[in-house]
Amino acid sequence: MKRLYTALLAAGLGLGTVVAAPSAAAAPTQCQYVARDLPIPAGARGAEVVASSSDDKLLVGEVYGDPELQAVVWRNGEIYQVMKSPYPPRMTPRGINKNGVIVGWMDDLRSYTAYRQLIGRYFKLHTQPGDHSIATAVNDNGDIAGAVFPIDGPDVRTAVVWERDKPGYTVVGPGQPVLVTNDRKVLTNEGLLFDLNTKTSVSLGVREPFSLDNGRIFGWGFGSIPEWNTSGQVVARYDQGVQGLGVNNHNTLFGSFGPSTVNPGLWRNGTWTAIQADKLPMAWGYGDISDDEVITGNYRTANGDRVAAQWFCAP
């Protein structure tokens, strides 16, 4: 999951001017959101959304409460697929594309091995002997980003990509990828944006968390959220923002704002407004918003469990 670092960004963006945020389409009036829990498989105690496809039609969640249940895929708010496997290994999902390819890693209590899964079949990704491997993201072309690191040794991770229809993997650099775009750009937790087509890279100047939605990359900051295009250029900043999670085609951004307290909110017409809801979505980790402004994410229960849900604007 993405983590919110507490260190200040300092001058890492290296910009001399502030770029205005994109103008938003006409926004609906402020409403009271109502949370609707996503259904969970029989036998599970709960599930947490961890990723969605680029077209927002598929969601993948990690299931807890039953060691034989590994993950669940929702389509249009209903259970579409449930993944099971003997325990161990434990399958941990971390990404899904619009073709239903799921990526993550399997844990047999001795090592981690990256996998891709399609139509219920698991395929291990190439991993050198003596290494762990994990997959963290997949694009719609089938390129899979992840990391390798030694089984017996320090946890020093190397970012790699299992490119579609190519043997082995391509080394990106130090760190761990957090996203891979459809135009084959890989972004690491260190802020390195690597182009698989040209094998060149640029630094965004900041570390994770990052979010990718509709081909737009969002970062975090205390008082200003930066947005980059997939060439690594800053195209907007969102004042009073803390972390951007998801954006729709009307330029409504879902994320968190502050700075005194961090709250979930929506950016419309250049202004953040706090979300009013019976259960507030988490303001970090995974989150998204559809074109009709349905919010998808997770909330915490009183005992600390995370619950996958969608938020609908009550009439």
**Which residues, including other chains, have CB under 8 Å from residue 234's CB and lie 6 or more apart?**
13, 15, 19, 226, 227, 228
- Residue 272: per-residue pLDDT: 86
Q: Tell me which of 144 and 305 has the higher pLDDT.
A: 144
pLDDT digits (tens, 9 = 90+) for 275-310: 999 999 999 999 999 999 999 999 999 988 899 999
**Beta-bridge mates of residue 134:** 147
What sign results for the dihedral spanned by CA atoms 76, 78, 79, 80?
negative
pTM score over 0.85: yes
Q: How far is CA 121 from CA 118, 126, 130, 161, in A?
A: 5, 16, 25, 21
**102-107 and 112-118: which strand pairing?**
antiparallel
Please give the Cα distance from 116 to 124 (Å, whole number): 7
- Residue 300: per-residue pLDDT: 94
Domain ranges within the chain, ordered by starting residue: 30-38+209-314, 85-205
pLDDT digits (tens, 9 = 90+) for 75-128: 999 999 998 877 678 899 999 999 999 999 999 888 999 999 988 788 999 999
Structure tokens at 20: 């205005």
pLDDT surpasses 60 at 210: yes
- Residue 26: per-residue pLDDT: 39
> CA 72: distance to chain centroid?
16
- The predicted model gives 1-5 an average pLDDT of 33
pLDDT digits (tens, 9 = 90+) for 232-270: 999 999 988 899 999 999 999 999 987 678 899 999 877
